[in-house]
Amino acid sequence: MIDVLVVGAGFGRDFLPLYQLHPEVARVGLVEPDAARRRATADAFGLDADYEDLDSALASGTWDAVHLLSPVRFHVEQTLAVLDSGRACASAVPMATELDDIARVVEAASGASGAYMMMETALYQREFLHALHLRDTGALGRLGYLSGAHIQDLDGYAPYWMGYPPMRYATHVIAPLLALADARVESVTCLGSGELLPLHRGDGTNPYPIESALMRLSTEAPLTAQVTVSFFENARSYQEGFNVYGDRGALEWPSVEGDAAIVYSAGPADGARGGRGIRREEVHAPDRTDSLPAALAPFTRDGRYRPPGGRPEVTVHASHGGSHPHLVHEFVSAVVDGREPAIGARRAATITAPGIVAHESAMQGGRMLEVPAY
């Protein structure tokens, strides 16, 4: 059994019940600097402890594992502090926003006694798990092209999102593409697109609301991925998805989140006409809950949870394709078993670095740049 500390009560709130329900977790605590929010969250969930800041939680001498869900700018220093304290550390994406900081985390994780995991929701979404199944059963054939887009309108979000370089948050698209291709990004060219309105410019260092990149993958046969991230000035509803194209079959992300994915399969070439017959099928990807503890399995979908001590029920949101229980179970299991988590530091670096280099390419007018190997 382990004790888990959740840091940040925004997105972090969705993870508190999952840790409380996990059969290998004994105590659950919270770090949250906003006093009113901290009090309300600790009361609503009946948490075992709460702290104003991470330092005092780490100084308490308790807690085996820490899950960071603080704003992006804190991820690196908080990760280093957690690993340095000898505890396991899970971090919300992105791992870092600079190559130097990726290197610092990779180095710290390689010498640490506690595990590191980047909590990439896209690697446990039901559509991704279905695409993996199609690939592994041969239904896609040989891959020829991949693409994906993360489109989110950040108008009205916290000030730190204003002017945020879109490609420095590209992990949700890059992660599934690299996993499907079993590859890393060798080089990237990227262009910025659109124009940020003055109220969205932040510190003014990034001029682009949208960035679109072409990535050369490390596969033996040439394979290209096109990745777009769009944060402002785009009247398209939310999407965080990918498409994968093979010579036998393909999967396209639902054009509206929550709708059916489209799966294509090619008939045999019969020489009688131009182009093979291509079948198109709408598919609702199944939830793959076999690997989850029974208490967590229902929470791949929105659900209700009754916290300890007879407290009133709360809603648990199952956004991001039902991935949250899988992430929690993988992190907790890795810590309990003393093994590397599925998304350890080098894999996290391999997923995070291409977007950072892509933004640099966009700032250099689209120059093709090499991406470090980890």
Ligand X SMILES: NC(=O)c1ccc[n+]([C@@H]2O[C@H](COP(=O)([O-])OP(=O)(O)OC[C@H]3O[C@@H](n4cnc5c(N)ncnc54)[C@H](O)[C@@H]3O)[C@@H](O)[C@H]2O)c1
Kindly state the DSSP code that residue 122 receives in the 8-state scheme. G
Rg (C-alpha) for the chain, rounded Å, is 21
Contact window for ligand X (CB under 6 A) among 8-16, 195-203, 248-256, 265-273: 8-16
101 binds ligand X, rule: CB under 6 A: no
Considering the complex, what minimum distance in angstroms separates the CB of residue 201 from ligand X?
A: 19
* CB of 128 or CB of 214, closer to ligand X: 128
Considering the complex, what minimum distance in angstroms separates the CB of residue 239 from ligand X?
A: 13
11 binds ligand X, rule: CB under 6 A: yes
* CB of 315 or CB of 364, closer to ligand X: 315
What are the φ/ψ torsions at residue 117 (nearest 5 degrees)? -140, 135
Contact window for ligand X (CB under 6 A) among 42-50, 71-79, 125-133, 207-215: 71-79
Instruction: Evaluate the CA torsion angle 232, 238, 242, 243 in order and state its sign.
Output: negative
* CB of 21 or CB of 54, closer to ligand X: 54
Considering the complex, what minimum distance in angstroms separates the CB of residue 74 from ligand X?
A: 5
80 binds ligand X, rule: CB under 6 A: no
77 binds ligand X, rule: CB under 6 A: no
Contact window for ligand X (CB under 6 A) among 4-12, 21-29, 129-137, 259-267: 4-12
9 binds ligand X, rule: CB under 6 A: yes
Q: In the range 157-216, which residues lie near ligand X by CB under 6 A?
A: 158
What are the φ/ψ torsions at residue 72 (nearest 5 degrees)? -50, -40
Contact window for ligand X (CB under 6 A) among 7-15, 262-270, 297-305, 343-351: 7-15
* CB of 69 or CB of 328, closer to ligand X: 69
* CB of 118 or CB of 213, closer to ligand X: 118
* CB of 130 or CB of 168, closer to ligand X: 168
316 binds ligand X, rule: CB under 6 A: no
55 binds ligand X, rule: CB under 6 A: no
What are the φ/ψ torsions at residue 181 (nearest 5 degrees)? -85, -10
* CB of 53 or CB of 337, closer to ligand X: 53
Considering the complex, what minimum distance in angstroms separates the CB of residue 340 from ligand X?
A: 20
Q: Which three-class secondary structure state does DSSP give residue 361?
A: helix
Among 3, 6, 8, 357, binds ligand X (CB under 6 A): 8
Site map (CB under 6 A) of ligand X, residues 317-346, x = contact: ---x--------------------------
* CB of 78 or CB of 350, closer to ligand X: 78
What are the φ/ψ torsions at residue 27 (nearest 5 degrees)? -115, 145
What are the φ/ψ torsions at residue 211 (nearest 5 degrees)? -135, 140
Contact, 301 vs 289, CB < 8 A?
no
| Sheet hosting strand 49-51, strand order edge to edge | 49-51, 25-31, 2-7, 65-68, 88-92, 116-119
* CB of 17 or CB of 249, closer to ligand X: 17
DSSP character string of 27-87: EEEEE-S-HHHHHHHHHHHT-SEEESSHHHHHHTS--SEEEE-S-GGGHHHHHHHHHHTT-
Instruction: Evaluate the CA torsion angle 25, 26, 31, 32 in order and state its sign.
Output: positive
**Strand residue runs (E) in 218-297:** 224-230, 239-246, 249-252, 261-266, 278-283
Contact window for ligand X (CB under 6 A) among 32-40, 210-218, 274-282, 310-318: 32-40
50 binds ligand X, rule: CB under 6 A: no
* CB of 164 or CB of 208, closer to ligand X: 164
- As to burial, measured by CB atoms within 10 angstroms (0-12 exposed, 13-18 middle, 19+ buried), residue 26 is exposed
Amino acid at 95: M
Give the Cα separation of 192 and 166 in Å (integer). Answer: 9
Which residues of the chain form contacts with ligand X (CB under 6 A)?
Answer: 7-11, 31-34, 37, 54, 69-72, 74, 92-93, 121, 158, 320
